[in-house]
């Protein structure tokens, strides 16, 4: 975790079922996100028509500076802007190909009204200089944490002035305040106060947001909208929250920390809702001052139990742009000591980020330690279509290196439209359920780091045995199934259940449902529409569909009539309409995480193969491939994970053959390959083989392959 902040120095052949009415579908669909591969053929048939058609519906509504952002963290210190010093900083940003500044001043600190006024002047002056040089700027401010410098010694610290505005732990024993270095961004004598969004703090905070919105900035970056990150765990149980909970749910506030208790279950879900309401009020206030301004929520609870424990569910914050704080596995060395599984888990997490923002651009942190690991992290973020915020672990406004950042950002700038405006050609969608994460795993934490080991006495290693997804029911299955796909070069997308609709699902020949014990009837009906129209749905988990969304158990599974007498050891497949549902009533993904065995892998891959979904490389070798289409180009990201595993490992290239589903006789203008280290792209040779375009290549840390067709 790294919130803030100490200001650092500046610096098929494809799927055989035809979908000929593809273009008609696009016209009718506002949220459709992807083209399954059959549709490449339609794209070939009418590339001109396809160009400019936005499958991701409304993405085109979003300003280009957000869609193509390369974010540069910049500390703006002092009480007044020094135009010469700031001018030098701006030169650095431009030289390193940043185009959006995340500016960071003193807004993490408690400021008196007078001090805040001075800060507003500083922001106003700085913004003018940024804009003069053609840069966009978003200003950083925490949402619910207020730091009083030297607060241990001050009578007028924020918490001492407003003790009843502080968050309160679920057990009502601990208020949300501490002094000193419980976390790296709070200095020894500082006070860190965590405020309740349902207290009068909201008005105090929104009043300040309005003033910041009036300084000419392009956006406000709102961090840590969450409960109980450091203290006051599982808040908030203050009287404001208890009253609001009772009013909104008609239930008494829970008194047992137990997810099988219906009131507590409701509370778990309510926390997500109340934080969303707070963030939406912030946005409304900002837009009331300046409708052009954007609100960007920084979200640290990604597809893991941080989202459950701290309450912020990114996929809920659909009114905001999101910058995802994707952690590495260590706050000391980021991903450098990560295992192959950890790396692919991180990749799947970046895919989740993209899917959770659905029709909006997605920004993400790319923590690095050294240049090689940092490059692979950023390449993964970008391969999943997240706009990068380059940063050295663990603090904001830092860099792994100016040369490194310059190399990466310039390379991304060269391929910007192909990377960020293209549409996914993945054939498989994994449906992530944040509700089942809460339901099955809420009493635990973690779910991100697979390796439990504290390597090299790394005190900031984020994994433990208990927190590994291997030991979690929902996250184990979700994480494992995602890994299985990516580790076998099956291009896949990930979407939260709450964001999908039938038009989106219709774009995928295969849908995968990691263990959803809790399933809503309407959700099942939506999935079955896709199945009846021809999709294959793979359902995993020992008791799928046995619980209703209020936490009550059904007499029989929602899948009962389809499931028949399937037993745990035997995968079964049932025809439904033009498609089918494949059941395997065991924790398939979790078993894969534990064993990576062929016994688990083969049935899943063979279901995929029956639908024409096969690996995009000839030989499985620790690479990830992710394909997109942009106008008349197919874009394939290749990520090379063959060398990862320990900090001491040096990157080494890998030779592979891409096997791209291809319509016989379709013309290729050229195939080029580009890597960040290269001055210019290289031309690749290719051949056709059984309706595949075969492209051999050697990949360094990461490659982008662009195939221009006609
Ligand atoms: Zn509260």
Ligand 1 mean position to 698 CA, how many Å?
55
Specify if 4 maps to a domain. no
**Are 465 and 606 in a shared domain?**
yes
The CATH number given to whatever domain includes residue 629 is 2.60.40.1180
Last residue of a domain, one of 565, 582, 610: 610
Q: What is the pLDDT of residue 11?
A: 30
Specify if 270 maps to a domain. yes
Ligand 1 mean position to 167 CA, how many Å?
5
Ligand 1 mean position to 163 CA, how many Å?
12
Rounded CA gap, 531 and 644, in Å?
39
| Helical ranges in 162-261 per DSSP H | 201-213, 239-249
Specify if 423 maps to a domain. no
Ligand 1 mean position to 651 CA, how many Å?
49
Specify if 139 maps to a domain. no
Is-above-0.85 flag for pTM?
Answer: yes
**Are 679 and 584 in a shared domain?**
no
Specify if 19 maps to a domain. no
**Are 576 and 451 in a shared domain?**
yes
Helix (H) or strand (E) holding 101: strand 100-104
**Residue-averaged pLDDT of the chain:** 90
Q: Which domain holds residue 504?
A: 428-610
Reported for 551-557, long-range contacts at CB under 8 A and 24+ positions apart, including other chains, are: 551/259, 551/260, 551/262, 551/265, 551/266, 551/439, 551/518, 552/262
Ligand 1 mean position to 170 CA, how many Å?
10
Q: Averaged over 190-208, what is the pLDDT?
A: 98
**Are 661 and 704 in a shared domain?**
yes
Ligand 1 mean position to 279 CA, how many Å?
15
Report CA torsion sign: 298, 304, 309, 315.
positive
Structure token digits, residue 463: 């994994």
Specify if 20 maps to a domain. no
**Are 652 and 534 in a shared domain?**
no
Ligand 1 mean position to 297 CA, how many Å?
20
Q: Are 707 and 668 in contact, with CB atoms under 8 Å apart?
A: yes
Specify if 529 maps to a domain. yes
571-601 pLDDT, tens digit per residue, is 999 999 999 999 998 999 999 999 999 999 9
Ligand 1 mean position to 235 CA, how many Å?
7
125-183 pLDDT, tens digit per residue, is 999 999 999 999 999 999 999 999 999 999 999 999 999 999 999 999 999 999 987 88
80-102 pLDDT, tens digit per residue, is 999 999 999 999 999 999 999 99
Ligand 1 mean position to 703 CA, how many Å?
48
The CATH number given to whatever domain includes residue 571 is 3.40.50.880
3-44 pLDDT, tens digit per residue, is 433 333 333 222 222 222 232 233 233 222 333 444 454 444
**Are 156 and 255 in a shared domain?**
yes
Q: What is the pLDDT of residue 60?
A: 58
Last residue of a domain, one of 294, 326, 343: 294
**Are 534 and 576 in a shared domain?**
yes
Helix, strand, coil % (nearest 5) of the chain?
35, 20, 45
pLDDT at residue 390 above 90?
Answer: yes
Last residue of a domain, one of 575, 610, 645: 610
Ligand 1 mean position to 178 CA, how many Å?
17
**Are 522 and 665 in a shared domain?**
no
Q: Are 289 and 213 in contact, with CB atoms under 8 Å apart?
A: yes
Ligand 1 mean position to 208 CA, how many Å?
20
Q: Averaged over 341-355, what is the pLDDT?
A: 98
Ligand 1 mean position to 252 CA, how many Å?
15
**Are 438 and 561 in a shared domain?**
yes
**Are 677 and 650 in a shared domain?**
yes
Q: What is the pLDDT of residue 185?
A: 87
pLDDT band at residue 528 using 50, 70 and 90 as cut-offs: very high
Ligand 1 mean position to 114 CA, how many Å?
28
pLDDT at residue 671 above 70?
Answer: yes
pLDDT band at residue 399 using 50, 70 and 90 as cut-offs: very high
Q: Compute CA distances 31 → 27, 42, 293, 452, 532, whole Å.
A: 10, 19, 24, 39, 20
Ligand 1 mean position to 283 CA, how many Å?
20
Ligand 1 mean position to 290 CA, how many Å?
29
Q: Averaged over 68-83, what is the pLDDT?
A: 94
426-480 pLDDT, tens digit per residue, is 999 999 999 999 999 999 999 999 987 766 667 788 888 889 999 999 999 999 9
15: nearest Cα among 384, 501, 507, 502: 507
Q: What is the pLDDT of residue 61?
A: 77
Specify if 472 maps to a domain. yes
Residues 6+ apart with CB under 8 A from 284: none
**Are 687 and 595 in a shared domain?**
no
**Are 467 and 603 in a shared domain?**
yes
Ligand 1 mean position to 164 CA, how many Å?
9
Total domains in the chain come to: 3
pLDDT at residue 240 above 80?
Answer: yes
pLDDT band at residue 376 using 50, 70 and 90 as cut-offs: very high
Q: What is the pLDDT of residue 454?
A: 66
Answer with the residue of higher pLDDT: 452 or 412: 412
630-641 pLDDT, tens digit per residue, is 999 999 999 999
């Amino acid at each position: 975790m790294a919130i803030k902040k100490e200001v650092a120095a500046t610096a098929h052949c494809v799927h055989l079922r035809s979908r000929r009415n593809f273009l008609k579908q696009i016209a009718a669909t506002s949220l459709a996100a992807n083209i399954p591969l059959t549709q490449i053929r339609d794209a070939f048939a009418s590339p001109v028509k396809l160009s400019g058609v936005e499958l991701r519906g409304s993405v085109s509504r979003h300003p280009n500076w957000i869609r193509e952002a390369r974010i540069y963290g910049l500390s703006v210190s002092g009480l007044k802007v020094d135009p010469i010093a700031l001018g030098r900083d701006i030169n650095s940003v431009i030289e390193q190909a940043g185009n959006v500044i995340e500016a960071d001043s003193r807004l993490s600190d408690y400021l008196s009204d007078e001090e805040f006024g001075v800060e507003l002047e500083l922001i106003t002056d700085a913004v003018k200089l940024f804009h003069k040089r053609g840069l966009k700027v978003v200003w950083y401010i925490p949402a619910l944490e207020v730091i009083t410098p030297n607060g241990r010694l001050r009578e007028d610290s924020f918490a001492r002035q407003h003790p009843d505005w502080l968050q309160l732990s679920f057990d009502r024993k601990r208020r949300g305040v501490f002094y000193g270095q419980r976390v790296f961004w709070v200095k020894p004598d500082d006070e860190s106060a965590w405020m309740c969004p349902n207290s009068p703090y909201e008005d105090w905070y929104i009043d300040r947001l309005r003033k910041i919105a009036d300084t000419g900035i392009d956006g406000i970056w709102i961090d840590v909208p969450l409960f109980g990150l450091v203290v006051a765990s599982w808040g908030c149980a203050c009287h404001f929250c208890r009253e609001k909970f009772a009013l909104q749910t008609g239930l008494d506030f829970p008194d047992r920390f137990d997810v099988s208790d219906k009131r507590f279950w409701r509370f778990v879900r309510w926390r997500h809702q109340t934080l969303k309401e707070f963030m939406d009020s912030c946005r409304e206030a900002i837009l009331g001052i300046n409708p052009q301004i954007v609100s960007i929520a920084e979200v640290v609870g990604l597809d893991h139990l941080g989202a459950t424990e701290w309450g912020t569910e990114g996929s809920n914050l659909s009114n905001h742009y999101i910058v995802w704080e994707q952690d590495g596995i260590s706050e000391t060395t980021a991903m450098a000591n990560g295992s192959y599984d950890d790396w692919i888990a991180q990749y799947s997490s970046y895919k989740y980020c993209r899917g959770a923002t659905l029709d909006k651009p997605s920004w993400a942190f790319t923590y690095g330690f050294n240049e090689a690991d940092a490059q692979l992290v950023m390449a993964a973020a970008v391969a999943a279509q997240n706009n990068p915020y380059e940063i050295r672990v663990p603090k904001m406004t830092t860099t792994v290196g100016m040369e490194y950042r310059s190399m990466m950002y310039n390379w991304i700038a060269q391929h910007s439209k192909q990377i960020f405006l293209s549409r996914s050609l993945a054939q498989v969608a994994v449906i992530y359920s944040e509700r089942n994460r809460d339901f099955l795993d809420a009493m635990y934490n973690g779910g991100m780091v697979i390796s439990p080991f504290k390597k090299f006495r790394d005190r900031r290693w984020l994994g433990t045995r208990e927190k590994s997804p291997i030991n979690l029911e929902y996250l184990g299955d979700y994480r494992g199934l995602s890994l299985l796909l990516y580790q076998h070069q099956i291009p896949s997308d990930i979407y939260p259940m709450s964001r999908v609709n039938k038009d989106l699902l219709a774009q995928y020949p295969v849908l995968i449902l990691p263990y959803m014990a809790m399933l809503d009837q309407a959700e099942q009906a939506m999935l079955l529409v896709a199945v009846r129209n021809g999709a294959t749905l793979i359902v995993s988990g020992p008791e799928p569909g046995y619980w209703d969304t209020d936490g009550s158990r059904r007499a029989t599974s929602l899948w009962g009539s389809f499931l028949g007498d399937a037993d745990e050891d035997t995968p079964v497949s049932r025809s439904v309409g033009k498609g089918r549902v494949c059941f395997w009533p065991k924790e398939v993904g979790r078993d894969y995480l534990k064993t990576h065995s062929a016994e688990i892998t083969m049935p899943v891959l063979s279901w995929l193969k029956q639908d024409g979904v096969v690996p995009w490389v000839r030989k499985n070798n620790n690479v990830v491939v992710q394909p997109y289409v942009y106008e008349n180009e197919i874009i394939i990201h290749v990520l090379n994970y063959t060398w990862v595993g320990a900090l001491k490992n040096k990157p080494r290239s890998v030779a592979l053959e891409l096997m791209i589903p291809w319509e016989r006789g379709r013309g290729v203008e050229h195939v080029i390959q580009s890597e960040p280290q290269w001055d210019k792209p290289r031309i690749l040779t290719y051949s056709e083989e059984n309706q595949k375009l075969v492209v051999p290549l050697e990949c360094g840390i990461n490659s982008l392959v662009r195939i221009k067709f006609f």
